[in-house]
Every structure is written in C-alpha cells, then in structure tokens.
Structure 1
Amino acid sequence: MLVTVASAKGAPGVTTTARVLASVWPQDVVLVDADPGGGDLSLLARRPDEGALDPELGLLSLAADARRGLADRPLEAHLQQSEGGLDVLCGVGTPDQMVGIAPVLPQLGAAFSRWPGRDVVVDVGRVTPSSPVLPIVQASDVVLVVTRARLEAFAHLRERVRWLAQLRDASLRSPAIGIVLVADSRDRRSAGDLAQLLAHEGLSATVLGQVADDPRAADVVGGRLQRPVARSLLVRSVRQLVDPVRALAAARAGRGVGTPV
C-alpha cells in the first residue's frame, strides 16, 4: 500500500502527520521523504545511536540505481533506521536535486506501490500541477491532504481536491483522496463543516478524521524538544486515522480491510 501525505497550500503539518502515521502503522512500513522543496528528515531525525542520518543514502541513491534499472537492486539497501526503529528513505537536499531525479520518479512511484512486504508512507509536501513528484502521487492508493480549519485553507483544499480527482496513473486508476484536518482537539464542528462543503461541491474526497493541533508534541516529532509523546493528543489522534486510511485504500482496490493491499 502506498499512502502519500500532502498539502494544498502552506505548511499545515504534513511532515509531522506523515512521520507519526508511519510510526504507529500496524504493518512493516517505510517512511519516504519526497518533499520537492528539500527534505527535513535527514536534518531532524537521528539514528537509534543518536548519530546523524546520511543525506546521500535515500532518494538520491535510489534514483541513481533506478537509472540502471531496479529489477536486481534491493530497495532495502537505501534505507536507514531512525530513532524508534522506523525505516526511512531520506529526501533530497534542494529543489534542484529533485528536478534532477524527476525522470526516474515514475519508476520510484511504481516501486513504492509494490514494495515487497512493506507499506509505504510518503511525505510530498505541497502538491501542485507542476510538482515533480506527481508520478508518486499518481501511483498512490491513497492521497491524504492535510489542511487547517480555516476558511482560506478550505478554499484552497476544494480546488486542489477537484484537480487531484482528475489524476490517473498508467493503468488509468486514480488515487483515493482522504482529508485530514489539523485542529484543536476540542473542535467538534470543523470536520463536519468540511465534509458538507465537499459533498455540496460534489467532490470525491473523504474526511477521514482530525489530527490534534499539539505544538509541543509536534516539536518533539520535529526534533526540537525531547519528551515522551506516545500518549500525547497528537499521537493518539493520528493513531485513530490508521483504520480509516486502510479502509479507504481497500475500497479503492475493491478488497476487504483485512485483505492485503
């Protein structure tokens, strides 16, 4: 299963949501940093021994292999392990590097979607019609669009969902679209309001749930603070997204939730 996490505009919490989602995922998973603007994973995450991750080992090294063909080269060779035991694929350092590897991104998207024995969660940052990572988005089973509970954010989301609904991969399949709302944990209205807006517009997207706006826990996930977060509102709220995401992917594939996707 390939799950892409993106935003329509700005920085509503895509990287935090993707990292926490991968960390609580119930099956073997890889977290891929594919933000075209330059990845943060190699800068902020640490190995279990507290050492720094190697920024050259990840998307860049995998793209170099892809130019020679991936058939006989294990994807696992490009992974590193971050704290907590999460397997990660580090991203590029600059937008120019992403443009440079753009020709092989269709291969990488296909490889991510059928990684043997693994599910894959990819952080693609802000997704636009000109984004070089569109082949990964198109290959996804589910695109999770993260947004804030603001009027202007809903307006941008509406237009981006309309565009995403028209995407197709090489087999003419389109990814299922799920919406994740970042809001105060006491907010009981915004998710319903957003669902009504999407339904009124006739847009094929599902509001899957709400991620708690928890700045302290987000700072821990981003490497800016050190404190336990397993029981934080942030982690608990993201954990509740797992089953809806898997169900959405299963519905797209025409399978039951318990069937491997």
Structure 2
Amino acid sequence: MKIISWNVNGIRACYKKGLMDFLNTEKPDIFCVQETKAHIDQVETETRTLRWEHSYWSSAQRKGYSGVATFLHTPPANVQYHFNDIPDYESEGRIVMTDHGMFDLYNIYFPNGGSGVERHNFKQQFLKDLNVHLKEKLQSGRQVVVVGDYNVAHENIDVFDPIKLSKESGFLPEERVWFDQFLELGFIDTFRYFKPTEAKRYSWWDMRTFGRIANRGWRIDYVCISKGLEKYLSSADILEQVEGSDHCPVVATFAF
C-alpha cells in the first residue's frame, strides 16, 4: 500500500499544474491533500474525485481557506471530521479521519500560528488536544497513521537555518517539545526511520523569498505511524522534484 500526502496550496490551482499526471505516475492507494482552499461544490467533477472511487472532504466555513480531502479506492468503515467534539477544528476544515480496519488514518492540516497571538494560542491548544486524543486512541489498542502538513519542523536538520528560525512559528521550542511528546506516545516519523541524519531534505519552501531555488526550506509534512505498524513499513521519502505547490508530496509504503 502506498500513501501519499500533499499540501497542494489550492486543489484547483494544483490540478491545472499537472496533478493528474503526478497521480497517474505515482499511483498511490490512498491520497491525502491539505489546503484544498475549496468546497467540493466549487470544483469541477473530476477534481472532486481525482478518479478515485471514494473521496471525503472537510472544508472550512470560510471560503478559500484551509480544507483537507482523502481519496480512496476502498470505502472506509467509518469517517469523522473532528476529534474530541471540538467544533472549531471541524469548522476550519482541518481533519478527515478514516477507519481502514488495520489502522485509523488521520489526514490533518495543522494550524499555522504565525499571524499573531490568537492563532499561536489556537495552534498550541490544537497540538495539546491532538496528543490527548491520540494517547487515548493508542491506549484503546488501535493503530494510527497521521499524515499531513504539521506546520512544525522537529529537528535542527529539518530547517535551513535552525538558529534564525528558532523564534518563528513552526520551529518554536514549545512546538519542538510537542513533537517529542507526540513521538513518545508511540509514533514513528517514517522519513527519519529510514534517513535519521539526512539533512537538506525539505517539504516546504517560501515562495516569497524564492526558497525552493536555493533549497532554503522546512520539513513540515509527515507520514507518522504508531509502532504497531512498524513491521509493515517498507519505505518513506520526500518527493522534492514534484512541483505544483509551495509544498511537495511525502510518501510511505507498506507491505500489508
């Protein structure tokens, strides 16, 4: 099974930039996107499904903002669009959770906290609430895959300038501590599992500063799995060569 996650920075724009060519080449079994920036009724028919049998969208109440979607060939046993019954997270279109029998898949667009104190606090609360929820989920015996744009870089090698960026949202000390705690719950960062020390491998670049040209980037997009799935994990990578967004796709494959 191949799972690909990609912050497409607007699904309609990415579609026009060759999204279907990418999918026809990679042929993922599950495709998760973040930042769709659209309601399903705003997009063309093919974009709604991307030729998958099943698609599940969670869109923000605010038009042109946030949004996630999960595309599947096999229908899940259950679908949810929030955790812990917190309506603010669903109203911002941040989560699609699908039950695949062997595991629950969380497709999440984590909040960005860089626009001010209010959004910073919202993000920090989201991170805390998510860890509480995931701890309970793991304690119940479920295996979990968490994919998406985490909007948090974990280690020094995950950003192009760790000293300068240590005061920026997404690489703040408390956010890095959160990531430590997330992994301590029993999660594996699949990319680091195979490439524990590889540097200058990023998944997002600031378009305003032409960061991609100089590879001045951040690794903030992940496929993380609970440890019970480790024995099935075959590979994981970052597809930096793929364009169409300010992010690139991340991928993990499993031998289920």
Q: TM-score range by the shorter chain?
A: 0.3 to 0.5
TM normalised by structure 1 equals 0.40
TM normalised by structure 2 equals 0.40
Higher helix proportion, which one? 1
